[in-house]
């Protein structure tokens, strides 16, 4: 018994050395997980769930740090300026990584150049909703209505450059319709005004809008994902209504500072993929309205380039600007 116990203790003590000998990097200091948005949103929730699992797997504290402001640019820049030593991660998003570079001319950094892809983390789709007084029971009827009355209807967004602004502009380009934009200071007041009828339309993220949809205070006409949402199984996709080019998904991806060594990236990637494969993690993300999605660093790099090209076109053709 004593021999077995001594062997177990020796194995525990030797594990880090063995890992290093085999080329597997292990963190030796606490890890900052920067979220460029306030606490409580889907991005923050996913980071905290993921952070808990990474802490268990990597054996070091993972501290979520909310660094907000400038559409997420402040948090992103903090990570860009951090040392590539495995002590800092970023929960990047569609906007911060692939939209903002085309909106802000004086960023001083390029997320695709100055950050290292680690893994995808989650996706959330948007849903086209209208006030119940809008005379359209289906997406086709809605399209016919806005084509008959160009510019008469208006949509609310969380502000210029937000996903609830860029996704509707993509929809407008694909459908070739004119719907006026009314920016708000956040999604909640925009959604409230759709319910009140002060604006008639919104392309909100499903987690934000689902309560109002289920309560009958707004009508859901289409979702922007590649497939129907489990939360809205009777609502067609934009492809099903004849607008495949309007497909759009908001997403989050884990990034590290630029120049992070391959062993560090590989270790984080393995830990993230292991975490996102766990049913308990999938369930917690689903409760926040997000779907767990992982990738290799190479797959993420390819996806980021494609998304950047897509949103550059939308920003350019829709002439989106920020205040």
Q: For position 17, what pLDDT does the model report?
A: 44
Please report how the helices 297-317 and 163-175 are oriented relative to each other, as an axis angle in degrees rounded to 10.
70
How do the residues of the chain divide into helix, strand and coil, expressed in percent and rounded to 5? Answer: 45, 20, 35
Please report how the helices 206-214 and 187-196 are oriented relative to each other, as an axis angle in degrees rounded to 10.
30
Assess contact for 72 and 36: CB atoms under 8 A: yes
Domain layout of the chain by residue ranges: 31-80+88-123+249-317, 125-246
Residue 232, token pair as written in the block: 């809205």
Query: Which DSSP category does 200 fall into?
Result: -
Determine the number of helices (DSSP H) and then strands (DSSP E) in the chain.
Answer: 13, 10
Q: For position 122, what pLDDT does the model report?
A: 95
Residue 218, token pair as written in the block: 């707004």
Same topology, domains 31-80+88-123+249-317 and 125-246? Answer is: yes
Helix (H, G, I), strand (E, B), or coil: what is residue 279?
Answer: helix
Q: For position 6, what pLDDT does the model report?
A: 47
> Has domain 125-246 been given CATH number 2.30.30.760?
no
Query: Which DSSP category does 192 fall into?
Result: H
Q: For position 8, what pLDDT does the model report?
A: 43
Q: For position 323, what pLDDT does the model report?
A: 60
The pairing of strands 201-205 and 291-292 is unpaired
Q: What is the pTM of this model?
A: 0.82
The pairing of strands 88-93 and 249-257 is antiparallel
* Beta bridge mates, 272: none
Q: For position 40, what pLDDT does the model report?
A: 80
Helix (H, G, I), strand (E, B), or coil: what is residue 60?
Answer: coil
Q: For position 15, what pLDDT does the model report?
A: 42
- Please identify which residue in the block is written with the tokens 């797997």: 57
- CA–CA separation, 307 vs 286, rounded Å? 23
The pairing of strands 219-223 and 115-130 is antiparallel
Q: How far is C-alpha 115 from the geometric centre of its chain's CA atoms?
A: 16
CATH class of 31-80+88-123+249-317: alpha beta
Positions of the chain with pLDDT under 50: 1-22
Query: Which DSSP category does 158 fall into?
Result: S
The Cα diameter of the chain in Å comes to 85
- CA–CA separation, 286 vs 318, rounded Å? 32
- Please identify which residue in the block is written with the tokens 């399209």: 143
Q: For position 70, what pLDDT does the model report?
A: 87
Within 10 angstroms of residue 133's Cβ, the number of other Cβ atoms is: 8
Q: For position 10, what pLDDT does the model report?
A: 43
What digits encode the pLDDT tens for the residues 45-76? 899 999 999 999 999 999 999 998 888 999 99
């Amino acid at each position: 018994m004593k021999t077995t116990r001594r062997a177990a203790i020796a194995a525990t003590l030797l594990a880090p050395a063995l890992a290093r000998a085999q080329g597997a990097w292990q963190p030796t200091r606490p890890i900052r997980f920067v979220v460029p948005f306030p606490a409580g949103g889907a991005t923050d929730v996913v980071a905290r769930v993921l952070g808990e699992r990474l802490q268990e797997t990597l054996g070091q504290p993972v501290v979520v740090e909310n660094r907000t402001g400038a559409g997420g640019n402040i948090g992103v820049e903090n990570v860009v300026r951090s040392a590539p030593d495995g002590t800092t991660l970023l929960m990047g998003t569609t906007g911060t990584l692939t939209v903002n570079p085309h909106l802000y001319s004086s960023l001083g950094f390029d997320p695709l150049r100055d950050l290292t892809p680690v893994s995808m983390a989650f996706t959330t789709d948007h849903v086209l909703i209208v006030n119940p007084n809008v005379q359209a029971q289906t997406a086709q009827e809605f399209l016919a209505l806005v084509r008959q009355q160009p510019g008469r209807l208006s949509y609310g967004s969380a502000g210029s450059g937000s996903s609830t602004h860029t996704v509707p502009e993509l929809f407008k380009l694909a459908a070739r319709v004119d719907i006026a934009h009314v920016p708000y200071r956040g999604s909640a007041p925009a959604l409230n005004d759709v319910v009140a009828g002060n604006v008639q339309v919104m392309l909100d993220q499903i987690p934000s809008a689902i309560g109002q949809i289920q309560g009958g205070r707004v009508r859901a006409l289409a979702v922007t994902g590649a497939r129907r949402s489990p939360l809205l199984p009777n609502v067609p996709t934009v492809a099903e209504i004849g607008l495949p080019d309007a497909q759009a998904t908001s997403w989050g991806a884990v990034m590290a500072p630029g120049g992070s060594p391959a062993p560090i990236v590989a270790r984080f990637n393995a830990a993230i993929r292991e975490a996102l494969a766990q049913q308990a993690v999938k369930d917690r993300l689903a409760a926040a309205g997000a779907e767990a999605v992982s990738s290799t660093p190479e797959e993420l790099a390819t996806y980021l380039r494609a998304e950047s090209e897509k949103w550059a076109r939308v920003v350019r053709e829709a002439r989106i600007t920020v205040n």
